Structure 1
């Protein structure tokens, strides 16, 4: 059975006080869902006192997965996990039962799956001649090593709001290391030096095996089916209340002896405006900002629409709050340059095994064991990944799904004379077959659905520490922030872990739960890990 963690009563709040509280969560992504679970599991808040409001028709936020075998499956992205990190994520999912086997936790299910399908990429990079690149060497010059060491050793105060290019010279961005690190984590040269620095420390254990992706753990299915659905099932069984097609349009604040208190929420639910009063002792959790805001999908015959926050309104509420209280952050630092935060992904559905068979012959990897295959010389800087099949619950036999993305969708393709941003699914398949030298017959049955995400790496934008609020700002009495846009020392954004850690920190602080949030494991302090990283840097 999944390990149960007993609710703890040793904080300063009495259990009866916690049980009478209501919690209102704005946004239905993993941050809110995790916060709800921690409140129930560790805070003794009854599920029926937890209300989650989500603008979209489904919950799960960026951890989505939809579509069908006839019109095509759709994924905006996929998250790589690791059991060597992700301390808060696994603390949660050790107690969430698997849907397939309720006697097993999601964590145990994921580890068991990993042991059966261990990743070891044999085609991490592919060159312009369709040859697999030898990647045992990171390709560093001595100048590259010196520059990398400087950014690793620099303090965050010194790095400030600088970009990666302020610390690394142009030749660095032509190394094997950069091609692999950038596509594994979706970094661009103009992104934040602080975030790059944090990744180098947080994932130093992965540095020495970046060419094989041996440290990556993947869920059995896409993250919606493997993480979100079991968590939703667990919350629903405990009475948590979900309202979809419901937008919180304003959070009204009042002063309470120098502290900020949420007085009420203004909502628009299914076209009907309403005011939700927030009683004394009630809590509000807000998912500020969204990396997948204003996403749009295309088709085999159309490119995705070029939407912005003006079309979605996804940043409006945070912008309103930040104008009132500077300690609530500065969203402008993240959402003001779509050209620097946008990339495109695509999901391909096949009813013919020809493409997967050719990829096995080309890469040497069974689907689910190879990780990203990056086309190093692609103008679009394109990568694909073939997951273990089926990738969706209920996916029929004979149907296969894979995913890909490109970091430079604004550039003209190598085989299609237009930017990826203007390409249909059919044109993306044409470009992909060109890089692999595959006959178009291998994708004759394919349905390729492209996706544009204008703010997908907005949390990587150069920023000051004050641009992100704390999970519970010092002046806040009942309002917490749980998203990729909060400040958590030492941890890294663009991970499931960041949202879950923010949720756990906020819940434990506001409910005064006397249980420690799992500490970050500092692999970068291990002599062995450091030595392996140095050895890899000199290969």
Structure 2
């Protein structure tokens, strides 16, 4: 039975990713919870989870990754249509983003490169067998795809096609990733298929996603009175699981090494972001490789494992965090106090910075990709400083130029591998000789692809497990029918499901947009695949 919030209602939100930031918004605006009785606990010293952006021009900027945006993220845009932007309190984040993308339209002229040259993308190069296999997959129910990998369905030739090279680098799927999740992506983003070769229809924020999204959201919540307790880790949760009910009763917290226990009262609620794709990261620098960590270094995974042991309805975290060699990859952020590279790439690709997006080096053993965002990518970024981001999917393979795995490489070595593939080693050498002009920060992320691990029904808990009275799971490791993980839309939808499911708001979560449900989109996609 849904409850009505009153002046005594408290809500504890564990984790400060966008799922809980959105939940706090809906708790205030729709459930009527007093903002001063909402507390967000975050193990790190900064909010935002996977939507990050940090650093400075002197020591180098850092972006661990970026989440894709498109116009049919209805829950996400609903949220951001109420939040003032970073630069202008009279313009919402949604309005700012739409206006920005009207000026810098995504149309990538160099999506795939080989031997430093553009790959011909007039066709996805899918064989008739590949097309048949894709069509069959789309009409196969998820119940028949449990635990299956993509490579269990498609032939080896499929993984040499332009379609796969675009799909794997755009969404970070790998051959061993979940076939069930790949099918959801194909269905959900069917409307993007005709333009996917040039990233048409993809939207970007004005700045990095921390400054464009997280900072405005946190400012709005803070101004309302929401409390943020940073550097505070929730290490366990007690439950009353008798008589078919599920009720959180106590939170066990650690702040600055000091432990305490918090009672979850009769009218209190607890929302947990279970699991994290960016937990236990490690940063290297120009001269030092990043170091791979594990579950023992993670707060979110350790907490979920403890909780899951208490009730089978709380999911199976081991499926997602138990094989780091399959769930890891490394990213890198490059800061240049020189415009040579950016000027060259604008000339080479024909894309003004901010209109191209992801570029993948198909002959890279690491399958390296880079993204050149619109500059400045950080609000405090000087005009003479340029930033770009990149990542590698196959980090245990030996490089083509640098004869060691990417996972063992310094920032300098990663750059030398990149310059080699772009055929600009000689041009960039004077810049590489000066640490004042260049910095590259590699980041090891052991769980970044964990949400794509092959799974079965029940491995991800429901947002509101059966019998729950005051507790909800939020984020990427909950189950939302038809929607796609690794998207901000998924996280915000779980926030709506939790708040509107527990509180009598008179509202329901916005429906999932599935491109394949649009007949025109289906016909256009079929034509694109057959080219």
Contact map agreement 1:18 1:511 (CA 8 A) in 2: no
Deviation at 1:267, TM superposition (A): 0.6
Which residue, out of 22, 32, 40, partners 2:10?
22
Measure the CA separation in 1 of the matches of 2:69 and 2:156.
30
Which residue, out of 227, 230, 239, partners 1:253?
239
Q: Which runs of 4+ in 1 moved over 6 A?
A: none
More off after superposition, 143-152 vs 251-260: 251-260
Which residue, out of 398, 408, 430, partners 1:422?
408
Which residue, out of 6, 19, 32, partners 1:44?
32
Equivalent residue, structure 2, for 1:503: 495
Measure the CA separation in 1 of the matches of 2:317 and 2:391.
26
Contact map agreement 2:282 2:292 (CA 8 A) in 1: yes
Which residue, out of 104, 119, 124, partners 1:138?
124
Deviation at 1:538, TM superposition (A): 1.1
Which residue, out of 40, 43, 68, partners 1:80?
68
Deviation at 1:19, TM superposition (A): 3.7
Residues 323-353 of structure 1: CA deviation (Å, up to 9, x unaligned): 1100000001101111111101000001110
Contact map agreement 2:189 2:514 (CA 8 A) in 1: no
Equivalent residue, structure 1, for 2:463: 471
Q: SS of the residue aligned with 1:314?
A: helix
Contact map agreement 1:430 1:440 (CA 8 A) in 2: no
Equivalent residue, structure 2, for 1:119: 106
Q: SS of the residue aligned with 1:533?
A: helix
Equivalent residue, structure 1, for 2:446: 454
Equivalent residue, structure 2, for 1:361: 347
Equivalent residue, structure 1, for 2:304: 318
Residues 475-510 of structure 1: CA deviation (Å, up to 9, x unaligned): 211110011100000000011111111111001111
Residues 363-413 of structure 1: CA deviation (Å, up to 9, x unaligned): 111111001110011100010010000001111111110000011011001
Alignment map for 1:66-77 (pairs within 5 Å): 66-77=54-65
Q: SS of the residue aligned with 1:471?
A: coil
Equivalent residue, structure 2, for 1:485: 477
Equivalent residue, structure 1, for 2:522: 530
Contact map agreement 2:57 2:385 (CA 8 A) in 1: yes
Measure the CA separation in 2 of the matches of 1:519 and 1:221.
28
Deviation at 1:209, TM superposition (A): 0.8
Measure the CA separation in 1 of the matches of 2:453 and 2:168.
14
Contact map agreement 2:43 2:232 (CA 8 A) in 1: yes
Deviation at 1:13, TM superposition (A): 4.0
Deviation at 1:12, TM superposition (A): 6.1
Which residue, out of 219, 234, 254, partners 1:233?
219
Q: Do structure 1's residue 282 and structure 2's residue 282 form an aligned pair?
A: no
Alignment map for 1:130-529 (pairs within 5 Å): 130-255=116-241, 257-442=243-428, 443-444=431-432, 445-529=437-521
Q: CA RMSD in A?
A: 1.2
When the two structures are superposed, what TM-score results if normalisation uses the length of structure 1? 0.96
Q: SS of the residue aligned with 1:285?
A: strand
Measure the CA separation in 1 of the matches of 2:86 and 2:285.
32
Q: SS of the residue aligned with 1:98?
A: coil
Measure the CA separation in 2 of the matches of 1:175 and 1:26.
42
Deviation at 1:20, TM superposition (A): 2.5
Deviation at 1:441, TM superposition (A): 4.4
More off after superposition, 437-446 vs 96-105: 437-446
Deviation at 1:197, TM superposition (A): 0.4
Q: SS of the residue aligned with 1:249?
A: strand
